[in-house]
Each structure stands twice: as structure tokens, then as C-alpha cells.
Amino acid sequence: MAVRRLSAKIHGCVQGVGFRYFTREAARGLGITGYVRNAQDESVEVVVEGEEGLLARFIGMIKQGPSRAVVENVEISWEPPTGKYDGFRVSGDG
């Protein structure tokens, strides 16, 4: 299966509810790489790379989010992979 890069912006009640750490555990569990961070507009930004099928599963997970989150919308864009990530990390705010 092809390796792809996925960028996503998650809108809703997604900051201050453990969303970044939920995302980290989901990504690590699937073996995909990249990062997650809070954005200044109160959304969460995610960039991940991995096999397309794993990224599809990941999308389903972030659309659900942790129990305290309310995901209203997920904007997704697909790009060619860069291969620059060797793991998955949580970045600081904005």
C-alpha cells in the first residue's frame, strides 16, 4: 500500500480536553509518524505520514476524538510524503 502524507485541521471543542494526547496514542498505536499541535484559532492541527490504509483508520479515530472532545469538522488534505518524521510528537501551543 502507498505511503501518503495527511494534514488535518480539527474544529470543535478540541483544546483542553486531551485531544493532542489522544491523537498521539492513536498515531503511535498505528505506527504512523508526524505531529499534533494546538492552533491559535482553537482548532488542532495534525500532520501524519504512513500507509494509506492506516491513515484512513486514523481519520476515523480523530473524527471521534477522546470522550471529552466535541469534533464538529475535520478538514483533510493529502500530499506526497516527505519522510522527515521518525516518530510522533505533541507540539506546544500555536
Q: Can 20 be counted among the known catalytic residues?
A: yes
Per the residue annotation, which of 24, 38, 68, 73 is the catalytic one? Answer: 38
Active-site annotation holder among 20, 28, 37, 89: 20
CB-CB contact of 94 with 18 (8 Å): no
Report DSSP letters for 56-71, one per residue. HHHHHHHHH--TT-EE
Whether 73 is catalytic is: no
Q: Taking a C-beta distance cutoff of 8 angstroms, is the pair 88, 22 a contact?
A: no
Active site positions, annotated: 20, 38
